[in-house]
Structure 1
Amino acid sequence: MKQREAIATLSELSLERDSALPLYLQLSRAIEAKIEGGHFGPGQMLPSETALCRHLSVSRITVRQAFEDLLTRGLIDRRQGKGTFVARPLIRTGLTGADRLFDTLFAQKHAPSSRLLTFGLQHPPADIAPFFDCPPDDQLLRLDRLYLLNDRPVGIAIGWLRAEVAAISREDAASHSTAYLIERMFGQPIKKSEVSIRAASAGRETAQHLKINERAPVLVLHRRRLLQDGRTADVVRSYMNADSYEFSIDNVLDLDGHPSLTLVAA
């Protein structure tokens, strides 16, 4: 049934045999237009190579080249033994993006948005307080956000900031990154960021927010940022849906030509 529906979506498609544009590129662009136009939604199955060959009277090589073009550009996914599917929107980021997730999200093209879930002073848990040198009775600002692409939850950030940032309104917090809030409140730029990334199972609370199975894999980004005066500005744990977040690392060198990134395996 799914294959018949997918073929029906392309029923009016015709390829120009005498065009200067290769057949595989015509097919690739036609499928891309259907994806961009919403005819094929994220996660939806595409017609099989065999079905497209039969429907369009083209060779398997033509269809395979079209799929390879779409795959290279991140528009489709291939799942062994299951078929070819429209790729879900990804947050693609490098080192800077992992440090400033809010800004990275809103650089995406897939209708990015965020929701402020929590904003208020709370007593920090035992594993957070030492980062801020908090006495037992001190409070920090708890700031949690849900990140979405095309209204689909893709990540949640659980953040703890210095209590002074609570003076900023909830409205400002909802519409600006934590980096902006910190730099505005303290009048100094963030000096240093420490980011670690690991894989884990979602767990009940994260799964409920991201609408995934509790055992589904997520990427956990732990970030600590420091002010110019050496004080901790914030500590954030972000839980990103593993099929919606892509992290890439270039060969990063410092001014002296030495590696400026250290990877630690635990």
Structure 2
Amino acid sequence: MTDAAAIFAHVKQSGAGAPLYLRLRKSIEDAVSRGALLPGDALPSERDIAASADISRVTVRKAIQDLVQHGVLVQRHGSGTFVAPRMERVEQSLSRLTSFTEDMARRGLDVRSVWLDRGVYAPSPEEMMALGLSAEAMVSRVSRLRIANDTPLAIERASISAGFLPDPNAIGSSLYAALEARGCKPVRAVQRISATNLGEADAELLEVTPGSAGLNIERISYLPSGKVVEFTRSVYRGDAYDFVAELRLGTGEGIAP
């Protein structure tokens, strides 16, 4: 019996009284915790796990999907199911306006991007409204997958008036650095965060299961003059990011009993 098969062999004898899928889930979690399954290790197929544990493939699928939803496992289309990389959750302050590159650099993480789109387009009605553009204006769109320590964390889709950024191909690792070089780096922003379930395309890019929890983040950034310079819609992995805000009691306000 292989080491992987041994993990599943005694599922029926463990956790008496608990549903079989929960027993299998615990067996896999325990194997990950004690190092019998390491980050990046591939799990056997559903068929093989079902045969080793003497349970149905439906039960195996339910246990695996549960672990994927909780970030213990990841599924890659056409490749199989793997133990998820160990990843510390990233905390980002809501009180500072920083770029993804700056955030990750402060944490000592290796950052890279995969470009999904860079081009100049006629603006959509949403971009016209957010950026204050006329129908005749053009907009630079930059979309990229943001990766830290080989883990995809976010998909950023930014729109900037072509007047501020005529050539999106001039962007290196940081959009804000490119804007600063042109004298139009934003100094403040309004950001809206909402929960979402990731669709199939975004989930595949972020290497999670479709329907996994994510965060939609919409940001409008402003120049010192008050003019809008950036309209960005991002999707972040819900299992990797925490947004933190410091709250202060207003001057002269008491605390209700």
Q: 2:190 aligns with which of 177, 186, 194?
A: 194
Equivalent residue letter for 2:147: L
Determine whether 1:219 maps to 2:215: yes
> In 2, Cα distance between the equivalents of 1:42 and 1:246?
24
Aligned residues: CA RMSD: 3.7
After TM superposition, the structure 1 = structure 2 runs for residues 157-172 of structure 1, keeping only pairs within 5 Å, are: 157-168=156-167, 170=169, 172=170
TM-score, length-scaled by structure 1:
0.59
Residue matched to 1:183: 180
> In 2, Cα distance between the equivalents of 1:252 and 1:98?
19
Equivalent residue letter for 1:94: S
Q: What displacement does 1:231 show?
A: 1.1
> In 2, Cα distance between the equivalents of 1:90 and 1:97?
18
Residue matched to 2:63: none
> In 1, Cα distance between the equivalents of 2:214 and 2:120?
28
Deviations 1:2-45 (A, max 9, x none): 6978xxxxxxxxxxxxxxxxxxxxxxxxxxxx99xxx9437999
Residue matched to 1:238: 234
Contact 2:97 2:187 in 1 (8 A): no
Determine whether 1:249 maps to 2:248: no
Determine whether 1:149 maps to 2:145: no
Residue matched to 1:174: 172
Assess, with a 3 A threshold, how the Cα gap between structure 1 residues 188 and 163 changes in structure 2: closer, same or farther: closer
Residue matched to 1:127: 126
Equivalent residue letter for 1:179: Y
Residue matched to 1:69: none
Contact 1:89 1:149 in 2 (8 A): no
Q: What displacement does 1:174 show?
A: 2.8
Question: Secondary structure, in 3 states, of the residue corresponding to 1:174?
Answer: coil
> In 1, Cα distance between the equivalents of 2:41 and 2:95?
28
Question: Secondary structure, in 3 states, of the residue corresponding to 1:137?
Answer: coil
TM-score, length-scaled by structure 2:
0.60
> In 1, Cα distance between the equivalents of 2:217 and 2:186?
18
> In 2, Cα distance between the equivalents of 1:113 and 1:157?
13
Assess, with a 3 A threshold, how the Cα gap between structure 1 residues 139 and 122 changes in structure 2: closer, same or farther: same
> In 2, Cα distance between the equivalents of 1:129 and 1:112?
31
Q: What displacement does 1:182 show?
A: 2.0
Determine whether 1:210 maps to 2:197: no
Assess, with a 3 A threshold, how the Cα gap between structure 1 residues 127 and 133 changes in structure 2: closer, same or farther: same
Q: Where does structure 1 differ by over 4 angstroms across 4 or more consecutive aligned residues?
A: 1-5, 42-45, 96-99, 256-259
Number of residue-to-residue matches in the alignment: 190
Q: Which deviates further from its counterpart, 240-249 or 113-122?
A: 113-122
Assess, with a 3 A threshold, how the Cα gap between structure 1 residues 162 and 86 changes in structure 2: closer, same or farther: closer
> In 1, Cα distance between the equivalents of 2:180 and 2:167?
12
Assess, with a 3 A threshold, how the Cα gap between structure 1 residues 198 and 153 changes in structure 2: closer, same or farther: same
> In 1, Cα distance between the equivalents of 2:220 and 2:252?
23
> In 2, Cα distance between the equivalents of 1:146 and 1:44?
24
